[in-house]
Structure 1
Amino acid sequence: MEAAVIDWLAAVIKIASLAMAAWCLVSTFRRRPMDTWHLIGMGVLWLLLLGQTVVSAVLLVGGERPAEMVTFIAYLATVVLIPPVCAIWGLMERTRWGPAVIAFACFVLLAMMVRLEQIWDPSLV
């Protein structure tokens, strides 16, 4: 069975998520609202997640199947929706808590990427 979650891409997504979370936490502690650079960072993270989604969709269409298909698709759809929704929420919150929303979302993305890998290949658990 091929891996729907490409190892190097998953690693880049996890590192980018952690970097964004750390950056946003620093902004939160410095009492800075979300700015354009935070949005650009979330955009890059979102593009990486879209790439992962395309790879997974191609493998699913090609006949590969995870052990829990519905759960995998639900996680994949949620992972793609989190960055734009949280970026909008963070932008609307014009206090220091805007970047805190993004930091929380990035930690959630990290956990969800790990879970996507485990759902596709249960031997990783």
Structure 2
Amino acid sequence: MVDGLTTTIQTASLIMAVWSLISTLRGQPMVVPHLVGMAVLELLLIAQAVVSTTLLVGGARPAETATFVSYLATVVLIPPACAVWGFMERSRWGPAVIAFACLILPVMMVRLEQIWDPGLA
């Protein structure tokens, strides 16, 4: 796990959550800039997944490898799933779906770091 990348993911995710919550409160549907923001977040998550996978293949192993891999797969799948759901929901609740997903991601990233380095827990 790359700490700087994890922090960037958490920050980007929280910025997206605030932006989406503002859109929800204003009654605005999800628009293309929301999708662009989610795509940037997804690229950051894929980068973290590639780095983590490379470290796993290189021999670095967290204490709970299966749990780590399942969390890693989940964080990579959440943004596209919620972006599709949010885009299909053409009411004000589309951005709310994105906000919810973006509030979950930082927590999951903390958990990934805890699994990777049990001394952080």
Gaps of 5+ in 1: none
Q: What is the rounded CA distance, in whole Å, between the counterparts of 2:7 and 2:28 in structure 1? A: 29
Gaps of 5+ in 2: none
Residue in structure 1 matched with residue 79 of structure 2 by the alignment: 83
Kindly report which structure 2 residues correspond to 1:10-29, keeping only aligned pairs within 5 A, or say none: 10-29=6-25
Q: What is the rounded CA distance, in whole Å, between the counterparts of 2:40 and 2:22 in structure 1? A: 19
Q: What is the rounded CA distance, in whole Å, between the counterparts of 1:30 and 1:58 in structure 2? A: 43
TM-score normalized with structure 1 length: 0.96
User: Among the aligned pairs, what percent are the same residue?
Assistant: 66
Kindly report which structure 2 residues correspond to 1:93-104, keeping only aligned pairs within 5 A, or say none: 93-104=89-100
Residue in structure 2 matched with residue 111 of structure 1 by the alignment: 107
Q: What is the rounded CA distance, in whole Å, between the counterparts of 1:64 and 1:11 in structure 2? A: 21
Give how far 1:111 is off: 0.6
Aligned partner letter, 2:49:
T
Kindly report which structure 2 residues correspond to 1:51-90, keeping only aligned pairs within 5 A, or say none: 51-90=47-86
Q: CA RMSD in A?
A: 0.4
Give how far 1:95 is off: 0.3
**Matched pairs, number:** 121
Give how far 1:15 is off: 0.2
Give how far 1:19 is off: 0.1
Answering whether residue 28 of structure 2 is matched by residue 32 of structure 1, we say yes
Give how far 1:71 is off: 0.2
Residues 41-60 of structure 1: per-residue CA shift (max 9 Å, x gap): 00000000000000000000
